[in-house]
Amino acid sequence: MSRLSSSGPQTADAPTPEDAFHETATLDDRARGPQRGTEADGPMLAADGTPLKKSLARALRAQKLRALALIAPLLIFVLVTFIAPIADMLFRSVENQIVRDTLPRTSAALATWDAESGDLPPDSAFEALYSDLFLAAEARRHTRLGQRLNYENTGMSSLFRGTGRDVDDFGEANVEMLEDLDDRWEEAEFWISMTSGTGGAAVLDAARERFIRLDDLSTRGPLGDAWCGVKGVFGAPCAVSAEDVDLGFTLSGDFAETFPRTAEAYAEFAVFMAIEEEETVADDEPWEAVYVALDRDLRALSPEELAAYDGPEAEALRAAQAALADVPPVDFRAAFVASDEDWGTVEPWRTIRTYAPPYTTGYFLNAVDMQKTPDGPALRDEDERIYGLLFQRTLFMSLMITFSCILLGYPVAWLLANLPMRTANLLMILVLLPFWTSLLVRTSAWKVMLQQQGVINDVLVWLGLVADDGRLIMINNQFGTIVAMTHILLPFMILPLYSVMQTIPPSYMRAAKSLGATPLTAFRRVYFPQTVPGIGAGSILVFILAIGYYITPEIVGGTTGTFISNRIAYHISSSLNWGLAAALGSILLVVVLVLYWAYDKIVGIDNVKLGG
Amino acid sequence: MAETDTQEAFVAFERVQKSYDGETLVVKDLNLAMPRGEFLTMLGPSGSGKTTCLMMLAGFETATHGEIKLGGQPINNIPPHKRGIGMVFQNYALFPHMTVAENLAFPLEVRSLPKSEREEKIRRALDMVQMGEFGGRRPAQLSGGQQQRIALARALVFEPELVLMDEPLGALDKQLREHMQFEITNLAHQLGITVVYVTHDQTEALTMSDRVAVFDDGRIQQLAAPDVLYETPENSFVAQFIGENNTLLGTVKEIRNEYAVVELDDGELIDCKPVNVSQPGERTLVSIRPERVEINAERLQEGAHTLKAEVLEFIYMGDIFRTRLRVAGKDDFIIKTRNAPDQRRLRPGEKIEIGWLPDDCRALDA
């Protein structure tokens, strides 16, 4: 002791009471020593003069690399199969590109419309919807949008499907007028000669991009390109990407300038033919939308302006303008309302407008029983609220299960920790036995046990405790779920409790008793507080497993004993509303994280022990 | 102090037996009486029953047979928390989830003492073990020696008359252990408490105790003050267990004038004090302490028998020299000589004569 001591002179023949203090003081001094040196002399240097930190880092680098190499396979596996899907799923809960991608012009036209005014949108919106919907219907993407909007406003799905069928016939009179005027209007070559030229590449590119977005033909990106390059070397090249498909057609800049709508519609047609049909514009006459667009363009031009146009087929265009003056312009508004009178109400327009932005809180609002209204988010009607109740029920039942597990598991763990090794091992096997049986078998067994004609009811009736016509309902409700899941999750409570209790020597209880505490006080004040970390670990484990449990509540839960996870599964696999499923999942994740955080604040996560 | 009247004794074991499995006795017919204020150590090898005795006294084990009395009252049926006995455990058993002050408050709280009195007692107890500033720390933040002090303070804070200590210094390093031995005995005498101390470390037993009970095979082999125990062991177990001893086997040749002449197996004769032998012809184990062996023949009594010895090894240990000899055909005969200026340093291979005072050589049971 005195050997270590540097604090004051000591003739330490015999130890003195102060020595213990000097010892601690000395140890502290020694711990501080090097730091003091650092302050005075600058950074510590290794024997060869390099800074000590640097040479230490170099010495440890190989070790670190090896550690990294050891975890790399698992890390990659987890990233690819766990982190990435979860991130994608979470992203889906706010992602809402579909409206903007399917109805780009309509979204733009509705941007300036005042949805609160109660007035219908302007004519330009109807016209925009016509051209958007026509292309979407040709590409058969309009039903998908209808389905998406149907989550927010019931009826949108059938509205889009019905109008998608009719949209070909809008402006039929004007189309026929043109076709009757001159047979050449029905010939692909005529259209090509009229629109071909140079300088209209921008219009074609815009159409191509719009179609790619509409059809979800995502770009490959640098990584995909590199992969395709590798495949090309081995003689199995990737298909030509949508960005690079040859349209077999170039647009005249002059034509595009004079007839912007027609050029846009024809460009879309050309892109559709090339990408979707793998043909070119030369193979077929244009679709109706192109004729309707030309009708709109010709009406927008004065005869003088048209006379100044000197592109190909200018004569035919002038003749068409004159002929079309005899028929009325296409009335899009009337055509839509005629297809479905809902278009004459504000509702569908408002829905499109509300969900036009690329990201939405809609799924999340939905997941908490709210919806978007003109006045901002509001609670749904009483009878439409389901998720709040489901979340409450999930939390309540998970807590019940956790609590039951503590009640049942604590004594067992105590027994395990205090029995002689041999007996404890035997008991431990019994505790672990459930792990060796299939989850499905165990859950089904509970069904057999608990059903109304099941073992438990039969025994109760036989004992005369329950009348034969008053058999207890113990399955397909919350009770059944709690019983079955408590049984299934019990080992997850017992194991951490056991490993914590094992480390508590019996001398603590003895010490407490020798100090005068009754056995109950000794347990309450001394033993129990030391097992709290075990209870904490077990509770976290059981609670988090319970809150996301799926199979057992699905089988024994009936309608009142199901969890939020069952609803998520329903949206993933049956209703296909992935956005909502993702939002529900995200909320579940956040709830668990918040609980975890609260637990850390109250109990302290450092206190959680799974062993040792 | 050697009073064995169980009527007046503070702590008394009367014909106590203990068996765990119903087949073998761990404690066999234990009789022990302790006056108030005594520091008694139970010393023995592991498995000798000393800890079992302590646990029976504390109330954690029940005696299979016999009676344990505390202050004249039988306590066999009193649960441990009502016995009011302070106890210090081998691993201290400080409650890890409580601070030092809370640990000390625990026995006072369960006795429902008012807060002010509690704080006063805690402060006094902490000062007593020089740990006054550590009340707010957790046991894990203390060193082994500091934990030991707190365990001691906790066992004393509710002012028990009897304190039990179960190898309390076993986990400390040598220097700290020696220091704590000193402190514990001081405190015990200062407070006038009765202490039953269990250890397997004979040095600890000798330096700390008023009396030592040497346990073996479930019985007390000898119960005596340390000096008596060391110098006049009553049987060969005690002689060999306490301190270092040289033993030689032989047969008693004759007994006269309170001294015996023992013929060793190789025919040499030595003088001894008969302890467990009474007549010639008996086999005996002769025991001599290494420091009582004399290598300087001039200091021996007139006519004393001497033995031839050959030096095998000489070990310099600072304060003493330790020399291993071959004596009477045995290679493990040790002698210790003080490192004095005129002391001879023996060399391996040297042939010498050794002898001793007959009083230092005890003829025990074989």
* Tens of pLDDT, residues A342-356: 998 988 998 888 888
Between B7 and A491, residue with greater pLDDT: A491
Q: How far apart are CA A579 and CA A358, in angstroms?
A: 13
A510 and B87 within 8 Å at the Cβ level: the answer is: yes
Provide the pLDDT for residue A489: 92
Question: Looking at A311, A329, A347, which one is the last position of a domain?
Answer: A329
- Give the minimum alpha-carbon distance from A525 to chain B in angstroms, rounded to a whole number: 9
B159 touches chain A (CB under 8 A): no
* Nearest CA among A134, A137, A282, A133 for reference residue A195: A282
Q: How confident is the model at residue A1 (pLDDT cuts 50, 70, 90)?
A: very low
Among B97, B110, B154, whose Cβ lies nearest the Cβ of A530? B97
Q: Residue B97 corresponds to which tokens in the numbers above? A: 């989830």
Chain A contact probe: residue of B89, B118, B173, B198 with most A CBs at under 10 A: B89
Whether A525 and A421 share a structural domain: yes
Taking the C-alpha atoms of residue A537 and residue A546, their distance in angstroms, rounded to an integer, is 14
Whether A437 and A476 share a structural domain: yes
pLDDT at residue A275 greater than cutoff 90: no
At residue B102, the pLDDT reads: 93
Q: Inter-chain contact A507–B91, Cβ cutoff 8 Å?
A: yes
Residue A396 lies in a domain: yes
Chain A residues in contact with B89 (beta carbon < 8 A): 507, 510-511
Please name the residue of chain B whose CA is at the shortest distance from the CA of residue A18: B130
Contact A266, A251 (CB under 8 A): yes
Chain A residue with CA closest to B141: the answer is: A24
Which carries the bigger pLDDT value, residue A225 or residue A329? A329
- Is residue A531 domain-shared with residue A580, that is, in the same domain? yes
pLDDT value of position A324: 84
Asked whether the predicted pLDDT for residue A218 surpasses 70, the reply is: no
Q: Is residue A444 predicted with pLDDT exceeding 50?
A: yes
Q: Determine whether the interchain pair A516/B146 forms a contact, defined as Cβ–Cβ distance below 8 Å.
A: no
E strands present in chain B: 11-18, 27-34, 39-43, 65-70, 73-74, 86-88, 162-166, 194-199, 211-216, 219-224, 246-256, 259-264, 269-274, 283-288, 307-316, 320-327, 330-338, 351-354, 361-365
Residues A588 and A522 in one domain: yes
Residue A166 lies in a domain: yes
**How many Å apart are CA A289 and CA A131, to the nearest integer?**
7
Verify whether the Cβ–Cβ distance B145 to A525 is below 8 Å: no
Nearest CA in chain A to B91: A507
Residues of chain A neighbouring B60 (CB-CB closer than 8 A): 510, 513
Q: Is residue A47 part of a domain?
A: no
> In this structure, is residue A9 part of a structural domain?
no
The pLDDT of residue A610 is 58
As given in the structure block, the two tokens for residue A315 are 């004569």
Q: From CA A553, how far away is CA A476, in angstroms rounded?
A: 8
CA distance B145 to A573: 65
User: In sequence order, which ranges of A451-577 are alpha helices (DSSP H)?
Assistant: 455-463, 478-502, 507-514, 519-522, 528-547, 551-556, 564-573
Residue B278, both tokens: 């009474």
Which architecture, in CATH terms, is B244-365? Beta Barrel (2.40)
Inform me whether the C-beta atom of residue B84 falls under 8 Å from chain A C-beta atoms: yes
Query: Which residue of chain A has the CA closest to B143?
Result: A24
Q: Which residues of A touch B103 (CB under 8 A)?
A: none
The pLDDT value given to residue A69: 94
**Measured between beta carbons, which residues in chain B are less than 8 angstroms from residue A14?**
182
Q: Which pLDDT score, from 0 to 100, does residue A41 have?
A: 58
Same-domain check for residues A455 and A594: yes
Find chain B residues with C-beta within 8 A of A17's C-beta.
130, 179, 183
Average pLDDT value for residue range A529-554: 89
pLDDT of residue B153: 92
**Whole-angstrom distance, CA of residue A32 vs CA of residue A363:** 57
Asked if the structure places residue A481 within a domain, the reply is yes
Output the CA angle B148-B154-B159, nearest 5 degrees.
Answer: 130
Checking if the pLDDT of A541 tops 60, the result is yes
> Does A525 sit within 8 Å of B81, measured CB to CB?
no
For chain B, which residues make up each domain, given as ranges?
11-236, 244-365
pLDDT by residue for chain B (366 residues), tens digit each?
344 455 578 999 999 999 988 888 999 989 999 999 999 999 998 888 888 999 999 999 999 999 999 988 899 899 999 999 999 998 889 999 999 999 999 999 999 999 999 999 999 999 888 888 898 999 999 988 899 899 999 999 999 989 999 988 887 888 888 888 998 999 899 999 999 999 988 888 999 999 999 999 888 999 999 999 988 888 888 988 888 888 888 898 888 878 888 888 888 888 888 888 888 888 888 888 898 888 887 777 776 778 889 999 999 988 899 999 998 888 889 999 888 888 888 889 888 888 888 888 888 887
Residues A130 and A269 in one domain: no
Report CB contact under 8 Å: B87, A21: no
Which two structure tokens, joined as six digits, stand for A145?
């949008």
- Comparing CB atoms, the residue among A14, A24, A526 nearest residue B143 is A24
The residue whose two tokens read 């007549």 is: B279
**Measured between CB atoms, does B173 come within 8 Å of chain A?**
no
Q: Is there a contact between A508 and B95 if contact means CB atoms under 8 Å apart? A: yes
**Rounded mean pLDDT of A443-449?**
89
Give the nearest chain A residue to B133 (CA atoms).
A21
**pLDDT of A38:** 45
Q: What is the pLDDT of residues A548-603, one digit of tens each?
A: 898 899 988 888 888 999 999 999 898 888 889 999 999 998 988 888 888 888 77
H or E element that contains A292: helix A288-300
For A115, counting Cβ atoms within 10 Å of its Cβ (0-12 exposed, 13-18 middle, 19+ buried), the class is middle
- Shared domain for A454 and A356, answered yes or no, is no
- Are A464 and A568 members of one domain? yes
pLDDT, position A3: 42
Average pLDDT over residues A238-258: 82
**Other CB atoms within 10 Å distance of the CB of residue A342:** 18
Q: What is the CATH number of the domain that holds A497?
A: 1.10.3720.10
- Chain B nearest-CA distance from A526, in A, is 7
Nearest-by-CA chain B residue for A3: B175
Tokens at A106, concatenated: 């309509």
Does residue B176 sit at the A interface (CB-CB below 8 Å)? yes
**Residue B157 C-alpha, separation from nearest chain A C-alpha, in angstroms:** 10
DSSP labels for B119-188?
HHHHHHHHHHTT-GGGTTS-GGGS-HHHHHHHHHHHHHHT--SEEEEESTTTTS-HHHHHHHHHHHHHHH
* Among A514, A524, A607, the residue to mutate for chain B (most B Cβ within 10 A): A514
Of A21-25, A441-445, B344-348, least confident by mean pLDDT is A21-25
Helix axes A564-573, A578-602, angle to 10 degrees: 150
Whether B81 and chain A come into contact, CB under 8 Å, resolves to: yes
Q: Do A455 and A418 reside in the same domain of the chain?
A: yes
Is B106 close to A19, i.e. CB distance below 8 A? no
Which residues make beta-bridge pairs with B247? B287
Q: Assign A20 a pLDDT band (cuts: 50, 70, 90).
A: very low
Distance from CA of A15 to the nearest CA of B (A): 6
Torsion of CA B78, B81, B82, B84, to 10 degrees: 120
Report the pLDDT value the prediction gives residue A68, as an integer from 0 to 100. Answer: 93
Q: Is A193 part of any domain? A: yes
Of B99, B158, B102, B98, residue with least CA distance to B125: B158
Q: Look at strands B211-216 and B39-43 and give their pairing.
A: parallel
Percent of chain A with pLDDT over 90: 21
How deeply is A191 buried, as exposed, middle or buried, from its count of CB atoms within 10 A (0-12, 13-18, 19+)? buried
User: Is A474 found in the same domain as A391?
Assistant: yes
Query: Does the structure show a pLDDT above 50 at A30?
Result: no
3-state secondary structure of B67: strand
Tell me the residue ranges of DSSP E strands in A196-237: none
Tokens 């027609």 belong to A262
Residue of B98, B110, B185 to mutate when probing chain A, most A C-beta within 10 A: B110
A335 and A393 part of one domain: no
**A351 min Cα distance to partner chain B (Å):** 60
- The CA R_g of chain A, rounded to the nearest whole Å, is 38
pLDDT digits (tens, 9 = 90+) for A134-185: 999 988 889 989 988 888 888 899 999 999 998 888 888 888 888 888 888 8
With CA atoms as reference, report the closest residue to A293 among A247, A251, A324: A324
Residue A232 lies in a domain: no
- Rg of chain B on CA atoms, in Å: 24
Can you give the pLDDT at residue B198?
A: 93
Residue A521 pLDDT > 90, yes or no? yes
Q: Which residue is associated with the tokens 């992969």?
A: A227
The residue of chain A nearest to residue B156, with distances taken between CA atoms, is: A515
Which CATH fold topology does B11-236 show? Rossmann fold (3.40.50)
- Structural domain includes residue A231: no
Residue with tokens 């309390």: B168
The answer, for B183 touching chain A at a CB cutoff of 8 Å, is yes
For residue A612, pLDDT over 70 is answered with: no
C-alpha to C-alpha distances, B255 to B233, B264, B282, B355, nearest whole angstrom: 20, 15, 11, 19
User: Which of helix, strand or coil describes residue B194?
Assistant: strand
**pLDDT for position A22:** 46
Per-residue exposure over B309-325, b if at least 16 CB sit within 10 Å of its own CB, e if not: bebbeeeeeeebbebbb
Could A510 and B84 be called an inter-chain contact, meaning their C-beta atoms sit closer than 8 Å? no
On whether both A465 and A583 belong to a single domain, the answer is yes
The arithmetic mean of pLDDT across residues A430-448, rounded, is 87
Residues of A in contact with B85 (CB under 8 A): 514
Q: Is B110 within 8 Å of A521 when comparing Cβ atoms? A: yes
- Which of A3, A13, A500, A515 is best to mutate for the B interface (most B CBs within 10 A)? A515
Which chain B residues are within 8 Å of A529, Cβ to Cβ?
Answer: 97
Cβ contact B81–A517 (<8 Å): yes
The count of structural domains within chain A is 4
Query: Rounded distance, CA A482 to CA A402, Å?
Result: 10
- Full residue range of the structural domain in which residue A396 is found: 387-607
Using an 8 Å CB-CB cutoff, list residues of chain A that contact chain B: 1, 14-21, 23-24, 505, 507-508, 510-519, 521-522, 525-526, 529-530
Residue A261 makes CB contacts below 8 A (sequence gap 6+) with: A131, A293, A294, A296, A297
Contacts of B81 in chain A (CB under 8 A): 513-519, 522
How many CB atoms lie under 10 A from the CB of residue A137?
Answer: 20
| A343 neighbors A123 (Cβ within 8 angstroms) | no
Residue B234 Cα distances to A442, A481, B1, angstroms: 70, 74, 18
